[in-house]
Amino acid sequence: MNSAWNPSPPSVLSLPPELSKWMGKTVKAQIWDTAGQERYRAITSAYYRGAVGAFLVYDITKRQTFDNVQRWLRELRDHADSNIVIMMAGNKSDLNHLRAVQEEDGHALAEKEGLLISLRHQL
């Protein structure tokens, strides 16, 4: 997997070959990275249908990105299957000295909304 940072990531990400097998089976996945941009809002609801999982990521150094998680949750719950698995992650943990969202806030929201959570990764 290429670890070089790309400041303009693609809207659709594909799984590298080493991640396309799970438990001996081939996994087909489409990963849509909207980066929370409003311009994608009109099309995202169509992609929620049939989705089995969603990954909501916020920037721990920008409170607004955490506050936006509630809006994305509403959209997911309005348009996705009720069994969708939703995980939330706070990224940029390497910038802890600039933290604007406390870990406790992330845990509280995850518990309230029934989300899986990851707060320790540099995504």
The total of structural domains in the chain comes to 1
With respect to residue 2, please indicate whether it lies within any of the assigned structural domains. no
With respect to residue 73, please indicate whether it lies within any of the assigned structural domains. yes
Per-residue confidence of the chain (123 residues) as pLDDT tens digits? 455 554 554 355 555 555 566 677 776 666 776 666 666 666 666 777 778 888 888 999 999 999 999 988 998 888 888 888 899 999 998 999 999 999 999 999 999 999 988 766 544
With respect to residue 70, please indicate whether it lies within any of the assigned structural domains. yes
With respect to residue 34, please indicate whether it lies within any of the assigned structural domains. yes
Tokens 């990531």, residue?
9
pTM for this one?
A: 0.71
CA atoms within 13 A on the CB side of 20: 10
With respect to residue 99, please indicate whether it lies within any of the assigned structural domains. yes
Domain holding 101, by residue range, is: 12-118
Angle at which helix 41-48 crosses helix 63-79, to 10 degrees, equals 50
Tokens 């995504």, residue?
123
Q: Which CATH number covers residue 57?
A: 3.40.50.300
Measuring CA to CA, which residue among 73, 15, 84, 14 is closest to residue 49?
84
With respect to residue 4, please indicate whether it lies within any of the assigned structural domains. no
Tokens 């989705």, residue?
51
Residue 123's pLDDT is 46
